[in-house]
Structure 1
C-alpha cells in the first residue's frame, strides 16, 4: 500500500510541477477564508481523490479541497487525510518548499503517510513504525532524528499570528540555537531526517497540514505533543478542522 500511495503522490507532484514550471498556465484564486488556492492545488486534488477512491472505495477521504465526507471520517474507524498542495503560498513564491501530503488515519492516529516534495524530487514515507526518504537519485535512505548541542529550530514562514511572548518563553530553554523559516509539512520531514531539531507551532494549523508529516516524524523518533503535553491526534474531528498549538521535538 505504501508503494501505491507513494506513486500517487509522485503523479500529483508531477502535475503540480507542470504548472510551477510554466508548461500549464497558473490560475490563482482566494478562498472564503482569504487563503490562496491555485489550479495546481485542484489538479493534484483530483488525481489523489480519483486514485484513492479506486484503490480503497470503502474508505472515506478528507481533503483540504473537499470536506464533504468529514462526518464519515469523524465517525468511522479509519480515513484518508490529504493536502494536495501544502504550502500554496510557497508555491506562489516559487521557493520550492511545498509538498503533497497523504496520510492514513486509524482510530485517531496517523499510521501511514507520504510527503512528497516535488520541486526537489524527494519523497518521505512512514509505515509500520519505520521512516525513510527516497532522494532525487532514487536511493532509499532510512531516517531518524538526531540530538545536537547547537539546535536548529524550524518555524513556518507564515506563523505570524502567535503571541511573541510565547516564542520568547520557549526560546529561553535553548542556547546556541538557530531559527530557520520553511513552509509546509517539509518541516516535519527535516526533523525526521535529523537536519533540524525542533518545530514549535503557536498559531493554528489544519489537520491535513500535519497528519502525513506527523507519522513520518514520529516513526523517525520525534515527539509531537500539544502545549499541555498531550499527543497530537485526529479523533473527534470538528468542522473547523483545527489542531491545537504543538511542538515537534527530536529529543
Structure 2
C-alpha cells in the first residue's frame, strides 16, 4: 500500500473524529446562555475549544499514534522541532471565534494531514450546520449533510465574479479590492466555510489580506484543491505549510477556476503596492 492509499483509508475515521468533536462543541454551544468578548479560562468558548481539542487529540492518537499533532489549543512547539516533521496533523478545534460568540452557526472543526508542506487530507466540519467537507489529495472532494454524500467541484469563473468576504473580519484592503473590481456579487460567510463555498462552486474568489494561521486554512485548502481550485499567495504561488518559524499565513487568494487570468487581476489591483 502506498502512502497515498493509506492516507485515504484514514479519511472516514478522520471525519468521525471531527464530527464527534463537533458534538462536544454543541453541548456547550446549545446549553450556555453567554456573551463572550474574548477567551478566558471560564468562558463557554474556551470550554468548547478545549473539549474539541481533547476529543481530536485522543482520536488521532488512536488512529495514528506515531504522527505528531499541531493544534491551536495544544502545546507550543518550537520551529526547530516542527521543521523536523515530514508529516503531522494540523488542527483548529474551533475555527470562527466571532461566529461562535454571535451564535450564527458559522464555525468549524478543521483537521488536516500535512505532508512535506502540503495538505494531503482535510476535513472541515460545521457542527451547527450538520455539514462536513472532506478530501484527500489526488481524490475527489465531498460534502456530507442531511442529503447524504455529494461530490463537489469548483466552477469556471463567471462575470461578474462572486467574491466571498469574511462576515467578521473586513479589512480596509478588502474594501479597496472590492471597489476596484467594479461589478461583483458578494457572499459573506464565517470561518473556513469561505473556502468551502468556493470549493463547492458557489463563488469564484476569496481574498484574505489579514492575519490567519496555518490551522485556519490547511483542511479547507485540501478540500478546495481536490475540488479543482487553489489557494495562492499574492505571487500566485501555492500556499505551503511549516516552511518558516511563524505559523502565520501570508496574504492569499482562494480561487475556484485555476485557468482564469488571476495574474491580470492581481496586476490590475496593484495588491503589492496597496
TM score, norm. by length of structure 1 = 0.89
1:50 is paired with a residue of what secondary structure? helix
Question: What residue number does 1:107 align with?
Answer: 116
Kindly report which structure 2 residues correspond to 1:63-102, keeping only aligned pairs within 5 A, or say none: 63-71=71-79, 72-102=81-111
Question: What residue number does 2:251 align with?
Answer: 245
Do the aligned partners of residues 186 and 40 (structure 1) sit closer, same or farther apart at CA in structure 2, a change above 3 Å counting?
A: same
Shift of 1:73: 3.0
Question: What residue number does 1:207 align with?
Answer: 214
Question: What residue number does 2:56 align with?
Answer: 48
Report the Cα distance in structure 2 between the residues aligned to 1:30 and 1:97, rounded to whole angstroms: 17
Alpha-carbon displacement from aligned partner over 1:70-128 (angstroms, at most 9, x marks no partner): 54332210000000000021011000100000000000000110000111111100013
Report the Cα distance in structure 1 between the residues aligned to 2:145 and 2:243, rounded to whole angstroms: 36
Shift of 1:37: 4.5
**Are 1:219 and 2:229 an aligned pair?**
no
Between 43-52 and 66-75, the greater mean CA deviation after superposition: 66-75
Report the Cα distance in structure 1 between the residues aligned to 2:163 and 2:195, rounded to whole angstroms: 11
Alpha-carbon displacement from aligned partner over 1:125-176 (angstroms, at most 9, x marks no partner): 0013221111123x1111100132332211112323x443x6424653x453
Shift of 1:25: 7.4
1:110 is paired with a residue of what secondary structure? strand
- For structure 2, the 5+ residue unaligned runs are 1-9, 258-274
Report the Cα distance in structure 2 between the residues aligned to 1:200 and 1:186, rounded to whole angstroms: 13
Report the Cα distance in structure 2 between the residues aligned to 1:109 and 1:70, rounded to whole angstroms: 20
Do the aligned partners of residues 49 and 25 (structure 1) sit closer, same or farther apart at CA in structure 2, a change above 3 Å counting?
A: farther
Alpha-carbon displacement from aligned partner over 1:189-236 (angstroms, at most 9, x marks no partner): 111101121100011100000000011011111121101111110032
**Are 1:132 and 2:139 an aligned pair?**
no
TM score, norm. by length of structure 2 = 0.82
- For structure 1, the 5+ residue unaligned runs are none
Q: Quick check: 1:16–1:43 contact (8 Å CA) kept in 2? A: yes
From 14, 17, 36, the equivalent of 1:8 is 17
Report the Cα distance in structure 2 between the residues aligned to 1:181 and 1:231, rounded to whole angstroms: 24
Structure whose alpha-carbon radius of gyration is higher: 2
From 28, 47, 60, the equivalent of 1:39 is 47
Do the aligned partners of residues 29 and 62 (structure 1) sit closer, same or farther apart at CA in structure 2, a change above 3 Å counting?
A: farther
Do the aligned partners of residues 163 and 29 (structure 1) sit closer, same or farther apart at CA in structure 2, a change above 3 Å counting?
A: closer
